[in-house]
C-alpha cells in the first residue's frame, strides 16, 4: 500500500471585490452586522462578461497546482471536482476542466458534498492512490455562488456570507509511510438535508413547474439556511471530527501545527480554536477576505497558508469541514 501526499497547490479568485459597504447599498445590511456575526469584510463575485465560470476558475487553480507539483497536465490520472455550483445541471464540471487542461481523456468525477466537498474529494484521491490504481490525482474545489444568490433584503441572511473562488491540489504517490495523508474521516446526516439547501430547480421541482406557477414569492431556487441550527451543529461536528482524526493517530490537540477549517464563519473557527486551546498561529482564517467559498474554501486557505510559509515539511496539518447534508469530515496530514 502506498501513502498519498499533496505535491502542489493553487488558487484562483475573481478580481471583482464586493465589500460589506457595497452590499449595504443594495440591501438592508451593514458592515457592522456582517463583521460581528461572520467576520467577513469582503468577498469576490464573478463579474458578468469576465468569462470566469466554476470550471474555468477550477482549471486556473489547477494549472498552478500542477506546475508547483513539477508535473504536466498529461501526468494527471484522475480529476475530482467538488462543487455545489456546477456549470451545468449535467454533465459535471470535472469533464469541462479535463477539456480546458487539454487532457485528451482521463476519468473525471464530480463530488456533491458542498462545504465538505474538498475533504470528501481528498479522501477519495487518497483511496485511489493507496490501492495503486492512480499516481497523480487532481482535486479541485470551485464555486460560483454570486449569480444564484438573492441579493435583496429578503436573502440577506445567506447572500452576505458566500463568495466565489477556486482552489486545487495535486495528490501524488508517496513511499514514506509516515508522510502525507495519515487518515480521513467522513460523515453525513441526511436528517438535516433541507436545513441548508437549494431545493428547486431540481427533479423535485422542475423548471417548467416553477415557470407555470409564476409565483413571485417563490424562493425555492435560492439557497436556504437555518443559520442557528447550522451554527450549533457545526461547532459540535467540527470538534468531534478533529478529535476523531487525532485519536486515530494517537495524537493530542497540542500536536497540531496548523488547523485549516472550512471557512464557514469566523465565529465557528474561533469556537473550535478555543475548544482545542490553539494559538492564533495554529489556525488559518481568510474568510475576512473571501467570505465562504464552500468547496473552494479549504484549498484556497491551504494554498495561502503554504504560500505564506505557514505549512512546512514535517508539520501536522489538520483540515476539517462541516456543511450542507449535513456532511462533515477531517483529514490529518503529515506534510
Active site residue 286: no
Q: Grid coordinates 472550512 are at which residue?
A: 262
Task: Name the active-site residue from 262, 265, 285, 286.
Answer: 262
Strand 78-82 with 136-143, pairing: parallel
Query: How far is the C-alpha of 303 from the C-alpha of 168, rounded, in Å?
Result: 8
- Quickly list DSSP for 116-154: GHHHHHHHHHHHHHHTTS-SEEEEEEEE--GGGS--SGG
Site string for ligand ACO, 294-323 (x = CB under 6 A): ----------------------------xx
Quote the DSSP letter at residue 263: -
Residue of the chain from 44, 68, 145, 156 that contacts ligand ACO (CB under 6 A): 156
Count other Cβ atoms within 10 Å, centred on residue 134.
20
Contact region for ligand ACO (CB under 6 A) — 10-18, 130-138, 174-182, 229-237?
229-237
C-alpha 39 chain-centroid distance: 18
Residue that is written with C-alpha cell 496548523 in the block = 258
Sign of CA dihedral 87, 93, 95, 99: positive
Q: Does 155 bind ligand ACO (CB under 6 A)?
A: no
Single residue of 10, 12, 13, 29 touching ligand ACO by CB under 6 A: 29
Report the nearest approach of ligand ACO to the CB of residue 268 (Å): 6
Residue among 304, 322, 210 nearest 258 (CA): 304
Q: For cell 460581528, what's the residue?
A: 36
Residue nearest to ligand ACO (CB): 227
- Least Å distance, CB 305 to ligand ACO, is 19
Q: How long, in residues, is the chain?
A: 335
Q: Which of 234, 278, 283, 305 binds ligand ACO (CB under 6 A)?
A: 234
Q: Closest approach of Cβ 162 to ligand ACO, in Å?
A: 7
Place of cell 447599498: 25
* Among positions 46, 62, 169, 196, the unique one binding ligand ACO when judged by CB under 6 A: 196
Binding residues with ligand ACO: total (CB under 6 A):
23
106 is catalytic: no
The residue annotated as part of the active site, out of 20, 115, 185, 233, is 115
Positions in the binding site for ligand ACO (CB under 6 A): 29, 33-34, 37-38, 115, 156-157, 160-161, 196, 225, 227-228, 230-231, 234, 264-265, 268, 292, 322-323
Residues designated as active site:
115, 262, 292
Amino acid at each position: 500500500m502506498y501513502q498519498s501526499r499533496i505535491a502542489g497547490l493553487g488558487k484562483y479568485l475573481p478580481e471583482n471585490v464586493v465589500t460589506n459597504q457595497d452590499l449595504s447599498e443594495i440591501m438592508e445590511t451593514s458592515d457592522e452586522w456582517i463583521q460581528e456575526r461572520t467576520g467577513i469584510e469582503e468577498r469576490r463575485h464573478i463579474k458578468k462578461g469576465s468569462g470566469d465560470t466554476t470550471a474555468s476558475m477550477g482549471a486556473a487553480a489547477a494549472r498552478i497546482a500542477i506546475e508547483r507539483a513539477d508535473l504536466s497536465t498529461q501526468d494527471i490520472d484522475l480529476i475530482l471536482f467538488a462543487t455545489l455550483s456546477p456549470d451545468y445541471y449535467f454533465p459535471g464540471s470535472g469533464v469541462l476542466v479535463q477539456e480546458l487542461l487539454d487532457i485528451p481523456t482521463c476519468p473525471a468525477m464530480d463530488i456533491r458534498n458542498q462545504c465538505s466537498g474538498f475533504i470528501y474529494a481528498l479522501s477519495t484521491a487518497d483511496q485511489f492512490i493507496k490501492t495503486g490504481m492512480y499516481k497523480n490525482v487532481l482535486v479541485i474545489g470551485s464555486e460560483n455562488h454570486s449569480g444564484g444568490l438573492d441579493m435583496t433584503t429578503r436573502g440577506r441572511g445567506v447572500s452576505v456570507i458566500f463568495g466565489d473562488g477556486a482552489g486545487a491540489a495535486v495528490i501524488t504517490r508517496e513511499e514514506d509511510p509516515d508522510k502525507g495523508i495519515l487518515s480521513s474521516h467522513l460523515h453525513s446526516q441526511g436528517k438535516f438535508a433541507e436545513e441548508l439547501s437549494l431545493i428547486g430547480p431540481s427533479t423535485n421541482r422542475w423548471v417548467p413547474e416553477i415557470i407555470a406557477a409564476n409565483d413571485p414569492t417563490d424562493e425555492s431556487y435560492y439557497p436556504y439556511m437555518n443559520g442557528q441550527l447550522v451554527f450549533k451543529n457545526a461547532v459540535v461536528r467540527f470538534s468531534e471530527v478533529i478529535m476523531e482524526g487525532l485519536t486515530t493517530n494517537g495524537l493530542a490537540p497540542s500536536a497540531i501545527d496548523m488547523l485549516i477549517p472550512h471557512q464557514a464563519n469566523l465565529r465557528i473557527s474561533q469556537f473550535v480554536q478555543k475548544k482545542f486551546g490553539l494559538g492564533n498561529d495554529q489556525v488559518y482564517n481568510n474568510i475576512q477576505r473571501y467570505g465562504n467559498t464552500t468547496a473552494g474554501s479549504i484549498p484556497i486557505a491551504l494554498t495561502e497558508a503554504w504560500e505564506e510559509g505557514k505549512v512546512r515539511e514535517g508539520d501536522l496539518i489538520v483540515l476539517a469541514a462541516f456543511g450542507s447534508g449535513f456532511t462533515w469530515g477531517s483529514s490529518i496530514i503529515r506534510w
